[in-house]
Chain A
Amino acid sequence: MAEAAISGAQSAGQGEDSFQVAGRRFTSRLIVGTGKYKDFDETAAAIEASGAEIVTVAVRRVNVSDPNQPMLMDYVDPKKITYLPNTAGCFTGQDAVRTLRLAREAGGWNLVKLEVLGDQKTLYPDMAETLTAAEMLLKDGFDVMVYCSDDPIMAKKLEDMGCCAIMPLAAPIGSGLGIQNPVNIRLIIEQSSVPVLVDAGVGTASDAAIAMELGCDGVLMNTAIAEAKDPIRMARAMKYAVRAGRDAYLAGRMPRKKYADPSSPLAGLI
């Protein structure tokens, strides 16, 4: 979304930078997952520290033998934070569509994250199934943010079908390996007219900054925060990293040079 991003930029950081997905405007470019935390108190505190306005959630069976167990919604208010239901754990398009129809019934909203995985070991997306599921969901009125491979051709197909955000992986889910594919991510950003978010692979704050410096509209992460020794502090670090990377992208970096260039004037030397 390079063009729109630049035209919408505030030159001196005046006013609030924001991005739009499926007609909704968000000021935070960080989307966080709600999995892997030690309890719901920690989940809520990490979301707060991250400044995220959108959080991903999974759809699972209610524990019918103990329905009084605490529920996520008791800690994270869906009226204040946008829930983005995912299809994590789905390995077929059919499963994904079934899951998100249930999510829509439970939550009453259409904005969803589609992910159809193809392999347990790498959690790499199955793009054939993803395309099928995206088509079914779009026909059914969903706004689909889609987790995908970093293949620009696949990303283009998903955009042309009508997906509202393209979310390529930067490294395998939960690996924390950082941005392994800056060239592909850049190609996808350049060709896309819907938001592009790096989804999966971020391990620490500099990874999030790199994704944003490439021109991503946002970053989605879960494990990098939840599995940090101090998740709340890492959530805060990610908030600043995403903002810093975004500002650096908008500011436009200096050209790389082969040799040194002194910062102090050479004239007037004693």
Chain B
Amino acid sequence: MQIILNGEPRDLDSALSVEGLLSHLGLEGRKVAVERNLEIVPHSAYDEVLLEEGDRIEIVHFVGGG
């Protein structure tokens, strides 16, 4: 299954939840926000929302800025 993760295509072995994706990336417990196809996925729904073929996923966090 392929998704677009932060603008880059990425192949996933199996169907993952958002929670699964974050832990696969080593981002569990980090203060990030996730958007799936332009819709925010709330923290409380990370384990329920399953990724699907072609999903556009954005994972963002806070960086230095003015």
Contact = CB atoms under 8 A, between A and B. Distances in A.
A67 B25 CA distance: 7
A61 B8 CA distance: 11
Contacts of B25: 62, 64, 67
Contacts of B32: 62, 106
A71 interface: yes
B55 to A, nearest CB: 14
Q: What is the size category of the interface that chain B forms with chain A? A: 20 to 34
B65 to A, nearest CB: 3
Interface string B33-52: 11100101011000000000
A105 B33 contact: yes
Contact of A56 (B6, B8, B65): B65
Contacts of A105: 33-34, 40, 42-43
Given A101-B40, A105-B42, A36 B33 contact: no
Task: Provide the main secondary structure of the chain A interface.
Answer: mixed
Contacts of A85: 62
* Residue in A61, A73, A85, A173 with the greatest tally of chain B CB atoms within 10 Å: A61
B65 A102 contact: no
A106 B5 contact: no
Contacts of A56: 65-66
A50 interface: no
A149 interface: no
Given A64-B6, A67-B27, A59 B62 contact: yes
Nearest to B58: A61
A177 to B, nearest CB: 15
B18 to A, nearest CB: 12
Given A62-B27, A64-B5, 15 more contacts: A34-B66, A57-B63, A60-B63, A60-B65, A62-B32, A62-B60, A67-B27, A72-B64, A73-B62, A88-B66, A98-B35, A103-B62, A105-B40, A105-B42, A106-B62
Interface of B: 5-8, 10, 25-27, 30-35, 38, 40, 42-43, 58-66
Interface of A: 33-37, 40, 43, 56-62, 64, 67-68, 71-73, 78, 83, 85-86, 88, 98, 101-103, 105-107, 173-174, 222-223
6 contacts: A62-B27, A64-B8, A71-B30, A73-B61, A105-B43, A107-B31
